[in-house]
Every structure is written in structure tokens, then in C-alpha cells.
Chain A
Amino acid sequence: MTQSMTIDPVTLAVVRGALEQITDEMDLNLIRAAISPIISETNDCAHGLYDAETGETIAQGGFGLPLFLASMQWTVQRVIAVARAQGGFKEGDLWFLNDPYISGTHLNDVVLVKPVFVDGELFGLFANTGHWMDMGGSTPGGWAPSATEIHQEGMVIPPLRLFEEGRYNASLIRLITANVRMPEELEGDLAAMINVFEVGRRGLEALIGKYGKATLRACITEMLDRSEREMRSYIAEIPDGTYRVEDWFDNDGVDDAPLKVALAITVAGDDLHFDFTGTAPAARGPMNISDSTTCSMCLVSLKHIFPEVPVNGGAFRPARFTIPKPSILAAAYPSPVGGTTDVTQRVVDVVFGALAQAIPDLVPAAPFGTTGVATVSGRRPESGSYYVAVYPYPGGYGGSRVSDGLVNGTPPSSMARFMSVEMSEHRYPLRFDHYAIREDSSGAGLHRGGCGTSYRITALADCLVTVLGDRVDYVPFGVQGGGPAAPNGVVFTLAGKEWIPPMRSKAERVALTAGDSVSLASPGGGGFGDPLLRDLAAVEDDLNAGLISFAIAEQAYGASIVKAVPHGGRIRYTLERKAH
């Protein structure tokens, strides 16, 4: 090859490492400095460097959430178009926005885009996103399960210049802080996010000082090309064909009708096409996400299957997307998008479901598939102070060729954890009656799914409970002959009576008084492979550990009892399996 500038392989590798180091340091800097606990404690943020012309990701930090893997690139590309229409990027500009139809996810994820100039010339764009605690709207935290338009979810910021050639537009921030519930925190997070660009700029300048602009540019071009090649090499190993899958959401929380997700993945050589034609039109309730989030989640799914592929724009090139708009996977104004936490999980499930047909040894069965956030709010009886407690579902992962599924996994788009029970009881007038592995909730299989998790929370004082989940009517599926997992289960006990909400796992502001409770049971993961091929000793262990009941051991796994010995209030079984 007679490339005008041959890059030696060592410089290339070192430059790639150095660029990733810059964005990693930006991640850590914000995680340390942010006020929002969602940023500092669950890393709900992302930082990257993007090409000024194409908007392609050059490097993105490794500490942010998977959710933002590729959505940042699409956001930046859309901001480039807006900036161009307004005269282009100028030195000292800083753009910001949270319009979810442009920047994806939900209103709480605010994106900043900062052009970097070197010797008066635009070199690239730094961008970051961080979750701000409150953006106004009808409920604290911005999350309204019965919202039917975006305005109930909070304040929309279109792409705007917060700094214009170095001049800070303080009025913009005053306008925003006047409309949110936690203005000081917002200003703190904003300052922290702005400061991070200085970290990025210093790193980039040092790199340019070391290698020169021309070499650095050549390295970036080569790096993206190679990542593209790398991604294509994985795709090329997937047999050509079109792989179709359909799945349904129970409902959108407002209208009780299932919503279809249809996906056809076509592999042709080393090209990949995700076609969501046939997917349900926009939902009236908040079960919608923007197209950029859908694309990003497709790439997140691929990275879960091929963890080694690099994260940059080159690796994103081989994938094309067709997503009907407006639809639940390509939201448009004024659709609410607060259900993003659940809709994003389903994109992973369907990508797995489609690719499991093509590369069965590499793709696990469906994970639990619902983030099922339970939010409890009220006043502490002793102090009268107001609290909001958030419990997002843990659940089981699907079985795979290599192993059973994990229990108590975090959603594939996230790394956020569940609160300690003891910590929760210190903070809120709520008591956990149990927090346990949910028996008989995993999909049966050669490798079974991980079990779901079940917990019951009893109110010690009046409070309001909101839940937003899914996967009651349509459960996580198994692959290669593996069975489905148990459905999501939400049951309230109000004044001694059990009550299942009409939308099953979606309910807004249910009033509990002291002694009332809510039971939550998340799905497990789907099973992988024929359960009759599961090692009998493993079935016996599962039964004796109480992970499956005898009925399942018998019906799904074809086992029968040889011996049953009472043991400390339990029974210890010895099983056999008849040849069939």
C-alpha cells in the first residue's frame, strides 16, 4: 500500500492507547467530581473524542455505561449538523443538549460537546454525558410511568451554545435552574462536566506535541480503518443469511395492548443489517426510545457477544440500521421516553434471539429483560423529611454454551448495583421481608438460566410506590431448545388483600399505609440447549439447593426420584433419569 504516510505499527498502537487513556482519565475525573450520586456511584456518564467532520468516535472512555457505547457518536453527528447550519464550530464554543430525540436515552442525560482547536484549526470534538438528578417535570427524578408526552418528563434542551466563543451564557443556566428541583446540584454537575474538557485538552495537546498533528491524524484514520477490519472479521464468521425474531412488550403503561418488536438481522459477507421493520408504532405511554439509543444497544449486544471488538467509529461502520420512525424504537416528538430503562433491554434480547440462530455457540439465551424500577417515596415518620428510594431489578442471565446463567445480574446496558438491605433500612421507613433467589424462575436447559431475584418490601409508614417493568405476558426466551424463564411478578398487599396492578408490572403512585407491602419477583434468564441433556448430578444439585422444584426436575429434566431423605426440614433427593 502506498499510503501517503506510512504509520509504523508501534506508533499506531501507542497512539491508540494514549487516546483511550485520555478519555479514561476524563471518565474518572467526572466520576470523582460529580455531585450526582448517579454519576459518582453508578458511573452514569460517558466521555469521548470524535472526528470533527464525520462525528465518528475516535476514542471513548472505558468507565462509562455500556448504554452510551455508540449513542454518543450519533449525538455528536447531529450536533455537527446543527452547528454547521449556524456558522460552524468556533474556538471557545461549548454546546449542550438533552433533547432525547437527538441525544438518545432520556432527559436526565445531558450531553456537552466541545470543539478542540489546535493552532486555530478545528482538530476534533470532545463530548461527555452525565445523568443529572432532576430536570423538572411532573415527578422528582423525571420519571413518570403514565406520561403521554415528553413535557411531563421534564425540560427539553435543544442543542444550544452555553459558551459562544468563550462567552458564557449565564441566562441559559438561570432559566434551567429555575425549572428543576435541585438547582445547586445541577450547577455543580455542570461545572464538573465543563472542567473535564480541560483534562481532555491537556492530554490531546501533549499527544500532538509528541507526534505532531499530521501523524496523529494519520494514526486516527488508520486506527478506525483497522477497527472496522476487526469488526468485519467477526461478522464474516457469522454465516450469511437473514435471521428473524419477534418479541412483545406487555403494554406501554397507558394502553393495555402488546407492542411488537420485530428484528431481521441480515449478514452478507462482512456487512450487517439490523432491520426493525414491523416494530410497533410509537407508544402512547413512555415505552419509547430514540433511534440512536436503539442503534447503540444493537452494538452493545454485539460487544456482549464479541467482547474484544474495540469501541470506536471504525467498529460501528459495518452495521446498517432500518428503524421505522416514529416507532417505539425511534421516538419522535412528543412521545415520552421514560421507559428507556426497559426498552433498551429488549433490544439486547432480540439481537441475541436473532444471532442465536446464526452463531449458537456464542450467544446466550435471553437475560431477565426488564429493569423493573420500583420507586418508593414518602416522609420519614420521625423527622418528616421526604425521601425517594429506587430499587432497580436484578435478574438472571441466560444460559450459554459455556455455563449456566448468572443470578442477580445487572442489566446489560448498565453496571449499576442494588442497595444494601441494611443501608436501605437505615435510610427509609421500609422493611425487607426477604431478599432471595427466586426458585423455579430459570429457563430449563443443558445450561439453565440464572434464577431471578425476589424481594418483598413492607411499608412502615404511608408511602407511594411506582413500578415500571415488563416481561409478564412475554417472558425471556430460551435458545437451542432451552426453556423460557418465569414471568416478572408484581403483587401488592394492601390492607391484607393481594392486588395485581391492571398493567401487571406497571403502576403509578400506589398508596401504601403501614403494614402494606409490595412483592417483586424478577424473571430469570432463558435456558440454553436441551434440558434432557443436562448432567443429572447438576439437576440433583439444583433440586437439593431449592433452585428448582421436583415438578420441574421431573417435567423439564426428565428425572425421577430414587431416594428422598428428610434433612433439617428439607428433603435431600437422589435422582435418576430413564433413557428415552
Chain B
Amino acid sequence: MTSIVGIDVGGTFTDLYYSADGVSVSRVLKVPSTPDDPSLGLIDALAKAEIAPDGLDLILHGTTIATNAVIERKGAKCALITTKGFRDVLELGRRDRQRVYGLTGTHRPLVPRAQRWEVDERLDHHGNVLTALDESEVRALAETLAQEDVAAVIVAYLHSYANPAHELRTAEILRSVKPEWQVTVSSEVVREYYEFERTSTAAVQGYLQPLVARYAGNLAAKLVQGGYTARTLVMQSNGGLIPLSQLAGRAANIVRSGPAAGVMAAAQLGLEAGFDKIITGDMGGTSYDVAVVVGGVPRIADTTELDFRIPLRLPMIDVHTIGAGGGSIAWIDRGGMLQVGPRSAGAVPGPVCFGRGGTQPTVTDANAVLARINADHPIGLTNIDRLDIAAAREVLDRLGGELGLGIEETALAILTIVNQRMAGRTRLLSVEQGHDPREFALVVFGGAGPLHGAAIMREVGIRTMLLPPFPGVQCALGCAIADIQYDMARTVERRADTLEVGWIAAVLGEQRREGEAKLAASEAAVDRVQVSHVAEMAYIGQIHALRVKIEADWPAARLVEAFHEAYRRENGNTLGDIPAVVVSLRTAVRGERARPPREPSPPVDAPAVPSARRPVWFDGWHDTAIYDRASLLPGQRFAGPAIIEQADTTAVIEPGMAARVDGFGNILVEMAS
């Protein structure tokens, strides 16, 4: 038995999920985050959960510090050293603009031009040296930089993925001049071509490393101080964990790990509940995140844009976001049409009904006015004990006046429009990826997700919605159930039919050994090691490549076969005899933690009993059953309209829908037949 706690430190709340036996839930809770020192909120959550420090084996932890530091440009002052002629790669990007329409606004690179330096050196794309590294120039530059308050130095040379020698030698010289510098070498962060994306990724790593190192040190000290002896692992954006001790060196890998953790948890819950294909919908205060999971495996994106012109080329769970959340503001456009979002009232001033000075009607106000949220038990609010419904009605009355709608009609209109936007994005994501969304189950979570899931499911035409046991702390649960993972990648960019026999196996073997060594160094207790390989392949000339699952001992011809199969699956056809190119080879080494399978509980033979009834507006006021989530037991069924209340969220079951509790405590909702 391993006692574990998963903690997700978000921008507004720190969520905790605790399991004393590593299998079943013992406690969940939400406390306000402490942005000035996020480790405080984490320690606070541990204290509030009353977990005995010495009785805890594992702390699994997600954090937004890295994401926020990039968005708010609060990282370290860095210097960037590049190949002569290419110091602007980081700022230029690859010719684009912020949005399709509108030519104003600009871009703030993580390392400004005055801190970007060039040295004489040049490789070709095979890694052959065209111009030798001018070491004296590097040394002179290092001495110049040593006079400045530069905390981190990033080295990114052209074609270094093909031959890292110049980058490594530069790093050596830098360290010899000033050992306390954090030096980031692009080929160690991404062993792949695309100079802008690789340089940007290295810049993100360098920019975040000092801050993340400080955070890791601080947290480790606080845990020791509190008497916690548990091993601490941190969530990455690929859905896998790494030990706290390795965090600083992988600072870029923890960007946007929170949403990834939520998807991982949903994938696991979906598989357990018997759903092979799921779409996850995570709705919080400002945004709605959607992702696709097939066979328990979330779709992976190779490059993710963190902010305008700040791509991160690391494998990350492919999560798409739109600005639709509880705080999204409803407004009337110049054509007199009602719109919702993307502007949000945020946490401050927040919705009108929170009484913190918000004056514009939000999605949460609409839910409150329609009595979908219990005004007497607001969730996650520490300083008020009742929602101000009268104030919310007043702003909706004003908005409705312009549309010729009553208060409740206006509230419902707001929900209809925000639900349509979320349903639309959900559909687009699956269409983009070549799926029929109707074959998927929808797993909704986040503080606001379960309020809207029923409508999204209805709009998209999804048959089943799964409400996890603790939708409001899903990301904390995701941390708790994740495995340890290392990803290795290397650019190949060669025609498959030119690869020497045994070459693929050699590269993959090397990647495997590298991952296994990292895993061993992490000293994490793992039950078994899973190694998987992927080849990124394309037809010659194509820019977009497909990820093809392969085995280490496959000859090139077998790779090509697998590529054709994958291409047909994605696009419905192949391009015949056009030669295939192996763009890159990738290996994931996953250390799976011992995790006893959960057994479903047998169904009970007792009807679900509402804890209360209240009028809730759907197409009019309906006398509606209110269920306490904690009282619902496996096997119980009930019909919509219904509201399910729990400490971390509220769920809505619409009229005409039927709900049942499965053996794992999930609520499955379907259209009543």
C-alpha cells in the first residue's frame, strides 16, 4: 500500500487529491493559490488535508509557475549565442502574425536583441563542419557576459541536432568562465531540426530554469521543514512525471502540465469505465480545454505555441483552448446579436453574483439566476457564503432589455450561446483529427464543466457523458495516477529506402538506453518499464509528418508499410509510389508505478434519493431533484432534470436525460430512450 497525494497548483486554486491506500480516494479539497510563493499554497493544502507527514509515501504535483512566467515574461535575464548571421532567428519566427485580422501589436521575444550574440561557426545539415568554432571568440564573449547580470546562457547553433560538438564545446567554455551560469544547449533540449522552434524551446528552458530551480529548492526545503519525507514528483506536459530533483533541468517540460494532467486522469477513468474513445472537456473560470483520447492514449502535439511566436517543440498532450468559462462576459454586438466571451471577468472582479465588484453579466451569473448553482453554497469562495442573485438578476434584466427578453430567458440565451461555442470547438477538434465525434464519450471536468457538459453532449450528438467522481480536482487526480516518462527524439530526414540495415534499431536502442538511464537516475520506485517507439514519416516533399508507431527491430520497408496504413487511416487514401521519408525517430520510456487495479463496486439495490428539490430553469421553471454526490451509490439511476451537488462542482442533468452511477463512482449520462 502506497499513500499518495496529487496536488495541482493552478492560478486561482490549489487542488488536492489524497489516497491513503493508493487506490481509493480518502480526501479531496481546494484551497486558494498563493501566487507570490506557490509552494505555500501546496503546504497549506497538505496541512488542511490533515495528512500525517510521515505517513505519506508520494507527493505528485502539477504547477502553473512555468506557464505564467512565460506569459507574463517574468523569467530570467538570459543571453543567447547563435551561429554568425542567425541571432535574429528567435525574434523573426517563420513569418506570421498574431491573428488573422488586425495588423497592430508586436512581439516580445524572451531574449531581446541586445542580449543575442553571434560567434563564428557553421555546420551543414549532415553535421559536417563548414566553419570551425572560433573558441577565442566564445571565450571573449563569455568574459563580456560575465560582467552583466545574466543568469542563464542559451546556445543554439544551426544544425546542432546533427552534430552537437560546437554547442557542447561552447557550453564548456562558458562554464569555465562562470561556473554558476545555467547553460542551456539547444541540441540537449531538442535533438531535432527547425532552428526557430529548437532555439525557442531552448530559450524557454533557459528563461525558466533559474525560476524553476528556485521553486524546486524552496519546495523541497518546505517539505523537509514540515516533516514530509515522501518522494516528490512533478507533472510534465507530456502526461508523465519527473522527480522534483530533476525539475530545473526540464523546466520547459512542465509548461501547461495542469491541463495535461486532467486529460491523463480522464483517459484512465474512461478506460476503466469501458470507453475506448473519449473527448475531454475541461471548463474553468476563463477557458474551455478540449482534447481527444483514443484507446487510453491522448493525442500528442509535437509543437505547442505558448504565446505568440513562442513555440515549444516538445511532445505535449494536444489540448485546444477557447476563451469560454464561468467568467466569460455576455455582451451585445453592433448588429444587436448576443455574444459570450472571449473576454472574461476573471477571478477579480469576477461574476456579478460574487459581489466583488463585477458589473458585467457572466456565464456564472446565468447559471446562478437559473438556480443551477446553489446560491447558498458557493464553491471555492472563502469570503462570501451566499451568491448575490438579486444583483445578477439586475444586470441580466438590463442586458435582456436590449434583446426584448426576460431575465431567465436572457440567462438561458447566454448558456445556449456559450454552449454552442464549446460544442463547436469540440466538433472542430474531432473533425480536424478525422474522427466522428458521435463515436466518442464526453468526459467533463473543471469547476464549470459539469454545469455545461449535458448541453455540449446534446449539441455535438455524443451518446454518453461521463462525470468523474471529483471533476473539480481532476488535474490533481491526474497527477496522482500518472507514470514517470522521458521522451527522446532525433531528426533523420532521410528517405526510408536509403537507411542502412540495422541503423534504425541502433538509433532506437541508443534512445532507449538514454531514457532508461534517466529513469534509473530518478530513483523513482517503478513497477515496470514500458518502451515505445514512433517514427515521424511523410511523403517526400510534404511538410506535415505523421506519427507512426513502430517496433525497434523493424526494417525500413516495414516502416513504410506502417506509414501507408497510418496515412490511409488519417486521409482515406495514400499517394501511391511517392517515396516515404523518415523525418525523425522517437522513443518514450515510461516507468509505470505499481497501481493495483480498481475493482468496480457492486450495484446497490436502493433508489437514489434526492437531498432536496428546488425550482431550476430549463425551458421554464422545473421542480428539480437535487442530489448530494456523496450519497449516490453504484447502480443507482435517476432521470433529468436533476442537479448534482458536491464540494468541488455542480452538475446539470437536463430534462430528457437519464443518469446512472457506475461501479467506479462515475455518473454516466445519456439521452433517455
Contacts and interface: CB of A to CB of B under 8 A. Distances in A.
Contacts of B417: 10, 13-14, 17
Given A416-B95, A417-B94, A398 B196 contact: no
B413 A9 contact: yes
A419 to B, nearest CB: 8
A436 B337 contact: no
Interface in B599-631: none
Contacts of B558: none
A409 B194 contact: no
A32 B433 CA distance: 8
Contacts of B140: 568-569
Interface stretch (A247-255, A400-408, A486-494): A400-408
A370 to B, nearest CB: 13
A407 B85 contact: no
A8 B412 CA distance: 13
A86 interface: no
Interface string B142-161: 00110000000000001101
Interface stretch (B358-366, B423-431, B503-511, B525-533): B423-431
Given A9-B337, A407-B107, A408-B95, A420 B195 contact: yes
Contact of A41 (B544, B572, B576): B544
B335 A226 contact: yes
B552 interface: no
Contacts of B428: 21, 24-25, 28
Nearest to A418: B95
A431 B417 CA distance: 52
B97 A410 contact: yes
Given A420-B194, A545-B112, A400 B335 contact: no
Given A417-B94, A567-B144, A234 B158 contact: no
A246 to B, nearest CB: 22
B427 A25 contact: yes
B50 interface: no
Interface stretch (B98-106, B247-255, B348-356, B377-385): B98-106
B97 A406 contact: yes
Interface in A412-436: 412, 415-423, 425-426, 431-436
Contact of A400 (B104, B145, B194): B104
A421 to B, nearest CB: 6
Interface string B382-411: 000000000000000000000111000100
A304 to B, nearest CB: 5
B103 A409 contact: yes
A229 B144 contact: no
A403 B543 CA distance: 34
Contacts of B431: 25, 28-29
A365 to B, nearest CB: 10
Contacts of B92: 394, 407-408, 435-437, 453
Nearest to A421: B195
Interface in A346-395: 364, 367, 392, 394
A194 interface: no
B103 A364 contact: yes
B125 interface: yes
A308 B333 contact: yes
A515 interface: no
Contact of A14 (B101, B102, B416): B416
A152 interface: no
A364 B103 CA distance: 7
Interface in B338-352: 338-339
Contact of A423 (B193, B333, B413, B573): B193
Give the most central of B159, B336, B417, B434: most A CB within 10 Å: B336
A400 B98 CA distance: 15
B193 A18 contact: no
Nearest to B402: A9
Given A9-B404, A436-B86, A66 B103 contact: no
A37 interface: yes
Contact of A568 (B94, B144, B409, B421): B144
A402 B105 CA distance: 7
Interface in A532-573: 541, 544-547, 567-569
B420 A9 contact: no
B89 interface: yes
Nearest to A405: B106
Nearest to A543: B114
A547 B543 CA distance: 33
B265 to A, nearest CB: 28
A568 B145 contact: yes
B439 interface: no
Interface of A is mostly: mixed
Contacts of B91: 407-408, 437
B117 interface: yes
A16 interface: yes
B420 A437 contact: no
Given A28-B431, A407-B92, A435-B86, A9 B102 contact: no
Contacts of A9: 336-338, 403-405, 413
A404 B428 CA distance: 35
Contact of A434 (B86, B96, B541): B86
A568 B102 contact: no
Give the most central of A16, A62, A404, A426: most B CB within 10 Å: A426
B97 A397 contact: yes
A576 interface: no
Contacts of A41: 543-544
Contacts of A425: 124-125, 159
B54 interface: no
Contacts of B405: 8-10
B101 A303 contact: yes
Interface string B103-124: 1111100001110010000001
B141 interface: yes
B72 to A, nearest CB: 18
A12 B337 contact: yes
A9 B541 CA distance: 49
A40 interface: yes
B575 interface: yes
Contacts of B32: none
A415 B117 contact: no
B338 A13 contact: yes
Nearest to B117: A568
B194 A412 contact: no
A407 B98 CA distance: 12
Give the most central of A9, A24, A230, A392: most B CB within 10 Å: A9
Contacts of B106: 403-406, 450
A432 to B, nearest CB: 8
Interface of B: 84-89, 91-107, 112-114, 117, 124-125, 140-141, 144-145, 158-159, 161, 193-197, 333-339, 403-405, 409, 412-413, 416-417, 420-421, 424, 427-428, 431-432, 434, 493, 541-544, 570-573, 575-576
Q: Which 10 A-B residue pairs are closest in the complex by CB-CB distance?
A: A434-B85, A568-B144, A226-B335, A230-B335, A394-B95, A545-B113, A418-B95, A307-B101, A230-B334, A422-B193
Given A28-B431, A415-B97, 15 more contacts: A9-B403, A9-B413, A10-B417, A41-B543, A304-B101, A394-B95, A397-B97, A405-B106, A409-B97, A420-B94, A421-B86, A426-B493, A435-B92, A437-B88, A541-B112
10 contacts: A8-B405, A10-B338, A17-B420, A403-B106, A412-B103, A421-B86, A422-B159, A423-B543, A434-B84, A437-B88
